[in-house]
Structures are given as C-alpha cells and as structure tokens.
Structure 1
C-alpha cells in the first residue's frame, strides 16, 4: 500500500459524471490502474469531498470510498469494487454531497452523510446492505469527520455540539454537549485520551475521552478564520488559522 498514491477526479463537468479513482506510483507518477465508480446520484449528490480510508478484514486490505450516495470497498491492487452499500441518501435528494470521510476501525465501517443518516456496518455484513446501526439524532455531523477509538465514537456537528456513542451499538454514552461557541468545520482529533475540537474562531475545546463528559480546557488563538483540522506529531499539536501556523507543545520535547 505504501507503493501507491490514490487520487480521485471527475472525468468531465457534467452533473452525471462518474468519479474515477487513479492510483499513481509515488516515485514515478505512472498510472497503476484506473477505475470508474458508477453512481445514480443526481445534481449535487455525486459530489464528495471525502478522503478514502483503509479497512483490514479477513487478512486483506480494502480501500473504503464514500460518496455519490454509496460507500464502497475496493481491491487496492486492481481497483475492482468488492462491495457496495447504499441507504446514505434514502430520499434521493439532489443536494446530498458528502464532506465527512469514512472511518474503518476494529472491524467496523462508519459512513457519514449530509447530517443524516450516519450508517455503521460490521465489515463482514456490508454486502448485505444492512447497517449494524444508524444515527439520525442530534449532533449529526456534516463537514467534520467523526473520530473513533474502536470503543467510543465521537461526533461533532457544525454548531459545535458533540456526542459520544458506543462504537459497536450506536447507543448514546453522553451528550450532546456544547463546545466553544462558533461554527465547526475542522474534524476533531483524538490523541492521548483527549478530544480536540477547533472551531472557525480558532478556539479549541479539549475534552477527556471516555464514558463521561469532562471539559478539560478551552484555548483561544488569534480568532481568525480556521477550518483546518489540527495535526499531531512528536507530542506537538499543529493548528493552522488563516493568519498563522501554530505549534503547541512542551518546549522540552
């Protein structure tokens, strides 16, 4: 998998265009394979701003792709579609573009949509098209990608409401709870048993991960427009606002 770079593009600008996946050899840029991913979604609904993720199931790796009213699994060597599940746009609305990316962890695949529904599948049950659970309640995400550690599933909506669900059953563990006032476009980050949620005012709410809601801190930066998700490396957090790139951490590290 480290030998391929996967790119998504559209073949033309028509509303019914097919999204195409093109893996490139990162050292040469040569095309490895090309695979069209058909959809019957219409108008804006074929559009997706999602990032594919990798699923490990039955000793094999699959590429999980979300968009165009479907979540699909693909063979990374050939691009061939292995499975497909719908139900993401049950009313076949014309404006159901998807921004949040899929998650694959601990034998589960989570497929967010335009707020509702969010579908959760056990990897082996996906071909049946029947989700293990679905979420249509409050704090349903639109733009921010949820985060999961395999036990707890955390989701933040555009208004900054956060909720924690049982990752296997979808039952509410706590929430919804309010984070710092402001719109949230950045995805939450889970690291060191803490949940970091940054809003568009560059305010980061830090929560304790786990079965109880606990606010640890609220940290303000320069107040400028912020839609980038925090990144974590070498015990430091990097936050990019419209004015600055911040590196936050212990100076001794």
Structure 2
C-alpha cells in the first residue's frame, strides 16, 4: 500500500469556513481527486481511515464537514462505537442539523469544495469523482447533477431519499448528469424503499446515464461504517471493490 499523508484543512465558503480532512499519496504527485461525502455521524476517525484507504490506492481525497455551520467536527459528541441504544439520543441532535442543510445550501458548498480541490497542488487537472454514504449518497447525486462538467464519476452507498416525491429529489437531476454512477443499496434500509430504487433507475435510464445499481442482500443502512452496529464486513469489501473499479475506469 502507498504511504499517505493526511492533514486538517479549512475551506472558505460563502457562509463561513468548512473544516475538512485532506489525504493524498505521500510522494506529493498530483492525483485524481475524490470528494468523499460523510454520513450523518460526520467527520470522525472512521471516515478518515476510509479516506486514507482511497488515498493509498492513488487518489487525493477530501472529506468536508458538511455540518460546518454548526461548528467544527465533531459537531455532535459520539461514542467510539455507535450501537442501536445510542442512536436515538444522537439523532435528537443530528436530525435538525440534517434538515437545515437544504439542497441549495449543500450545492453552494459543493462549489466551494470543488474549487478548493481544483486549486490544490495535490490534485490532477480535470473532473473529480464523488463517493457518498447514507445522506452523503444524496449529496453525491445532487453534486453530479448540479456540476456535471466537474464530476466524472459518482458512487453512493446505503443512500437515503434518492428518489422521493419532493421537488428537490436527486433523481430529478438525472437529465443533467454526465458522470458514470454506481449505487450499492442495502436491502434492509427503510430510508430507500424498493419503489425509490426503481424510480431512481428509471430516471437514470431514461436520461441515458451510465449507471449500475446493486442491492446488497442482507445489508443494513450504514453497512460500510465499521464504528456502528450496522457494519457488514462482506458488504463493505464489496463496496470497496465496486468503488475502486469505478475510479479505475474513470481515471
């Protein structure tokens, strides 16, 4: 594995400063960029370790704290291991923060993240790739549809609310997407019922978007997050294989 170098960085946005984690191969050579969108639990050691693994595969990876308007990470205090008993109290705090991050605000921030990556000496010229987890999968699809000329590939894993009936649903941007997309859905996931998976696939197919949508049998919402009770090691490794294959085809 390639040695990597990670550091905390600050990204100026129209609404303040977003703290983030940047990691890249230690040789300092510019590499294709990957913008990693966090899950609801936020920027924490496990997400940094995921970014490190991506960087070791040859990418420059940025993980922004998308909740920066509410403070630097960790915005909400978390236990080292998030078990089901801890979730209700955590979501009492996180829930309102998630709801305040509207699609418009998130996409305003996305421009700042993309601009910052484009200016980084560790980033190769050209479009970036995205990967997102839980709510981050939604942000990845929105970003791919809002900034199609800047995104070459996007992946989403155990995503929620990807094809709702609301006017800001990500699937409604399908006609604008030029990136190749990959989705790894959890079949034990109330946040993305079967009808939404079908609606998402139909919208992407109708728009001619290159995509693959797979349902991971037996996996639960959050299956890639090793610091939670939802973690599924087999599904997680499947996610890594699919994500690295997508990046390999793209770059």
Give the TM-score of the pair, scaled to structure 2: 0.30
Give the TM-score of the pair, scaled to structure 1: 0.30
Larger relative helix fraction: 2
**Comparing both chains, which one has the higher relative contact order based on Cα–Cα distances under 8 Å and sequence gaps of 6 or more?**
2
Larger relative strand fraction: 1
